[in-house]
């Protein structure tokens, strides 16, 4: 929170993405107030536990005396604390008072001397709201939650207003039930379309969008990966009457399903695959498949403004079937879970095994020469 608060004060750089200093300061202050409330709650809870323990020790000894039983082995008790308990705690619950959240604001009584010290701390950089100790901890948590929602909703609101949707590419229908589609977007130099000038050679960047096709979208297209390229370039060129949009469908090898994917450097893509068959003795294994994207047989896809005209239907007859023996494969002795993280600059990939262990693999070396870290 301290780093976020410092970044919010850099208005010239972070104000444009909605990082508001006033809202971040308010959220930080509310978090500090809740911390003080928790400290007070722990002190009151500890005192109440001690009071109840002392009272029941006294009560147990009274019962032993009435039953004419020996009470030498009982814990000692403080008679003054018993009197305080019967007078102030017997028919009250100070713990519930802090945790209760009612529609009517319930103020906790604070000593006048304590309130005066809190107001003096405001001058020394303390909390600007000097009445926070009069609120219950439940009310304080509610205010902190509201302030955090307001602070973190501002970037979404600010950025959303600046997003301009110029084009739409309907690839596949979305299932009615909630779903998660692994997706990756990257840009690579299009060497084939290089533009030579007098002293320089300028390369046009082409976008690649890789995604897993949900099995529920099409009955005849299952366990497939879709890759589209040239969408951004096409959106700027469609007015000129030509298209550069291309796509390809990849079929995952039998016995595997795609957990996650990520575009890699030099027009490569890394697929994280889990075995679909596992026994009671073994949870199965996983593989990382490195695919050269530029070598795939992309098919030109015409544009259409009809949102019910799905582009992948045109590619189901030209599916490319991946073969494990034809690609660069890294084996993982455990089944893996999402997410898959790759670093193009370091040439490594990090996956998480089902046993909650992070595994780092070097992608640039051969399988038998690699030294993996766990």
- Write out the DSSP string of 299-366: EE------TT--GGGGGGGGPEEP-GGGSEEEEESS-EEEEEEEETTTTEEEEEETTS-EEEEESSS-
So what's the pLDDT on residue 370? 45
What pLDDT does 52 receive? Answer: 87
Domains of the chain, by residue range, sit at 2-162, 183-333
| Four-point Cα dihedral 263, 269, 270, 274, nearest 10 | 110
Beta strand 246-251 pairing with 320-321: parallel
Please tell me the distance from the alpha carbon of residue 301 to that of residue 311, in angstroms, as a whole number: 7
Residue 148 pLDDT exceeds 70: yes
pLDDT at 269 over 90: yes
**Closest to 288 (Cα-Cα) out of 356, 357, 341, 228:** 341
When comparing pLDDT for 343 and 90, which is higher?
A: 343
pLDDT the model gives residue 291: 93
Q: Sorting pLDDT into bands at 50, 70 and 90, what band is 270?
A: very high
What's the CA gap between 183 and 181, in Å, rounded? Answer: 6
pTM (predicted TM-score): 0.56
Is 190 in contact with 208 (CB distance < 8 Å)? no
Closest CA to 247 of 209, 215, 220, 212: 209
**Least confident window among 97-101, 195-199, 291-295:** 195-199
At residue 79, the pLDDT reads: 87
Residue 290's pLDDT band (cuts 50, 70, 90): very high
Q: What is the mean pLDDT of the chain?
A: 80
pLDDT for the residue numbered 134: 80
Q: For residue 104, what pLDDT is reported?
A: 59
CA distances from 257 to 218, 276, 287, 304 (A): 16, 6, 10, 31
What is the percent of the chain with per-residue pLDDT over 90, rounded to a whole number?
12
Structure tokens at 192: 């084939």
Unique residue bearing structure tokens 């500090």 = 32
Confidence category of residue 195, pLDDT binned at 50, 70, 90: very low
At 373, is the pLDDT very low, low, confident or very high (cuts 50, 70, 90)?
A: very low
pLDDT in tens, 294-351: 889 988 887 665 655 566 667 777 889 998 888 889 888 888 988 899 998 888 999 9
The residue behind tokens 């294994």 is 285
| Between 62 and 2, the higher pLDDT residue | 62
């Amino acid at each position: 929170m301290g780093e976020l608060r410092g970044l919010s004060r850099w208005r010239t750089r972070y104000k444009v993405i909605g990082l508001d200093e006033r809202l971040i300061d308010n959220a930080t202050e509310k978090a500090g107030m809740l911390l003080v409330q928790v400290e007070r709650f722990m002190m009151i809870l500890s005192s109440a536990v001690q009071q109840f323990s002392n009272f029941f020790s006294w009560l147990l000894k009274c019962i032993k005396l009435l039953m004419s039983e020996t009470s030498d082995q009982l814990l000692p008790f403080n008679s003054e604390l018993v009197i305080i308990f019967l007078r102030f705690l017997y028919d009250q619950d100070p713990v519930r008072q802090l945790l209760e959240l009612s529609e009517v604001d319930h103020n906790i009584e604070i000593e006048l001397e304590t309130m005066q010290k809190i107001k003096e701390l405001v001058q020394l950089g303390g909390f600007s709201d000097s009445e926070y100790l009069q609120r219950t901890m439940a009310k304080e948590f509610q205010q902190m939650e509201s302030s955090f929602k307001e602070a973190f909703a501002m970037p979404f609101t600010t950025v959303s207003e600046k997003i301009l949707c110029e084009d739409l590419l309907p690839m596949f229908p979305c299932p009615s039930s909630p779903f998660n589609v692994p997706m990756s977007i990257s840009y690579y130099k299009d060497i084939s379309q290089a533009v030579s000038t007098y002293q320089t050679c300028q390369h046009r960047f082409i976008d690649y969008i890789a995604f897993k096709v949900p099995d529920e979208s099409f009955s005849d297209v299952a366990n497939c990966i879709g890759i589209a390229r040239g969408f951004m370039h096409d959106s700027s060129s469609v007015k000129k009457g030509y298209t550069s949009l291309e796509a390809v469908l990849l079929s995952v090898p039998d016995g595997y399903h795609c957990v996650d994917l990520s575009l890699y450097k030099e027009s490569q893509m890394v697929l994280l695959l889990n075995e679909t068959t596992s026994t009671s003795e073994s949870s199965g294994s996983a593989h990382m498949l490195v695919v050269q994207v530029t070598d795939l047989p992309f098919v030109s896809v015409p544009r259409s403004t009809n949102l019910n005209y799905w582009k992948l239907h045109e590619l189901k007859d030209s599916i490319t079937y991946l073969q494990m023996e034809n690609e660069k494969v890294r084996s993982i002795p455990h089944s893996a879970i999402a997410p898959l993280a790759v670093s193009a600059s370091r040439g490594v990939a990090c996956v998480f095994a089902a046993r909650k262990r992070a595994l780092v693999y070097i992608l640039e070396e051969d399988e038998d020469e690699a030294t993996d870290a766990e």
